[in-house]
Amino acid sequence: MARLNSLNPERVFNYFEQICAIPRGSENMKAISQYCIDFAKNHSLEAVRDEADNVIIYKPATTGYESSEPIILQGHLDMVCQKTDDCNIDFDKDGLDVYIDGDFVKAKGTSLGADNGIAVAMILAILESSDISHPAIEAVFTTDEEIGMCGAMVLDMKKLNAKRMINLDAEEDDILTVSCAGGSDFRITMPIEFENKKGNRIDISLKGLRGGHSGVEINSNRVNANKLAARFLNHMKNICEFELISINGGDKGNAIPNSCQISLCTDNASSFETTANDCLAVIKAEISDREPQFSYDICISEKTDCKAIKSDIKDKLIFGLLIVPNGVCEMSSEIENLVESSQNLGILKTTDSEIILHFTLRSNKQSALNFLEDRMKAFADSLNSEYEASGHYPPWEFNSNSQLQNIYKECFVQEFGTIPKVEAIHAGLECGIFSSAIDGLDCIAMGPSLFDVHTVNERLSITSTEKIYNLLIKILKSCR
């Protein structure tokens, strides 16, 4: 199998392969942070590391750029860890098994983490170089971006002198990103009580949905497995008697869950199985055009004693899951095709004492984000549940006087002969945190084309990476 360092640009893919060998799921940042510090030491570059494991590496300007304003190159170190049911990788200890498939880099059985490992790799290649012209660089590698931009939120911005920044966390190579959503995490804990029941235990697995990034793919008609489970359970409770044991779907708040597991018990397993198959067959046919890989398993065990959630709580939970808003809430009336507000039920988890519902809320307007939280507070109150809003990060507002935008557009036209698209996105970027903390920051976001981010089908275009890396070099050269 070909090694990634056989690809162009060689140094970028060499660093990306090294990064993929390091466990770096969110909240597991020590090793990758140390890797960056070791890189700086090996290349005689000044670097600082804070308690959140954020790293800043400083590189002086090259000849002729000594009087130019410095520039920040920024990406995040963590990745969303997803794997197939038959994958044995331990994300806490193991690296990824990456490989080349045509024009794509992929990982066997797992998400790839090109979001945002490829940004780190490109920045390291530039820091290493001796033949790329650029102003002074402040390379900022943040941690735990995927779980609320936690690293950027605590980064000491006083350690940065630059007033312009290129974020490399965008995911389409022909788009210049100039604005993004703000967001928060909203966690509801619904207390539950159990009672002893006797019947056949039935385990139902809803799986094979596409999943994806809750910002980027929220308007792509991808089915949320947790909401699908609510639809199924609501249908079944109107026809069959059953008691709910547990329901679990998704493990990342900012990923659209692609599977959900339901356990229940019933006195009439045969009737339940027939009705369940009929219901799920109808759903499968209905969503086949947008979820062609959707499938389900129904496994029936012998009659046994079951510890089931009390019926009144079960009914309240199913009703709540059925009616709670999910997906696109509002479209922008100012920017064509921009999702303005959304929410995603990313995690549904049963414990011994509670049901946890974890939502990611997003909006390009702060007032609209506040409303989403107020609505969720009212929803939690209706379930007699506790709630917590956390991980707030601000929107990144459009700057109509951006010099970096103009430099990007000019370089793009020179390099490719076409005019780039300029867009605001509904996903969150750390640009919002930096622009809110650094007065007058001129910021853009760019990056190579990624597909099915935050899923086991994630892939990175090789030709697109070369295209964006060369464009980045050209932009740096133009930043006089």
Which one is catalytic: 145, 146, 243, 273? 145
Q: Which helix (H) or strand (E) holds 107?
A: strand 104-107
**Catalytic residue list contains 145:** yes
Packing angle between helix 225-237 and helix 269-287, nearest 10 degrees? 140
Which one is catalytic: 17, 78, 172, 430? 78
Q: What is the DSSP letter of 172?
A: -
**Catalytic residue list contains 289:** no
Percent helix / strand / coil, the chain, rounded to 5:
30, 30, 35
Q: Would you tell me how many other CB atoms lie within 10 Å of the CB of residue 34?
A: 14
Instruction: List all residues 6 or more positions away from 131 whose beta carbon is below 8 Å from its beta carbon.
Output: none
CB 215 within 8 A of CB 426: yes
Q: Would you tell me how many other CB atoms lie within 10 Å of the CB of residue 14?
A: 19
Total length of the chain = 480
Q: Residue holding tokens 């995040």?
A: 76
Q: Of 453, 447, 459, 359, which is closest to residue 79 (Cα–Cα)?
A: 453
Q: Is the dihedral of CA 12, 15, 20, 25 positive or negative?
A: negative
**Residues 382-406 as b or e (16 or more Cβ within 10 Å = b):** ebebebebebbbbbbbebeebebbe
CA torsion, ordered 214, 453, 145, 227, to nearest 10 deg: 30
Q: Of 90, 88, 95, which is closest to residue 112 (Cα–Cα)?
A: 95
List active site positions.
78, 145
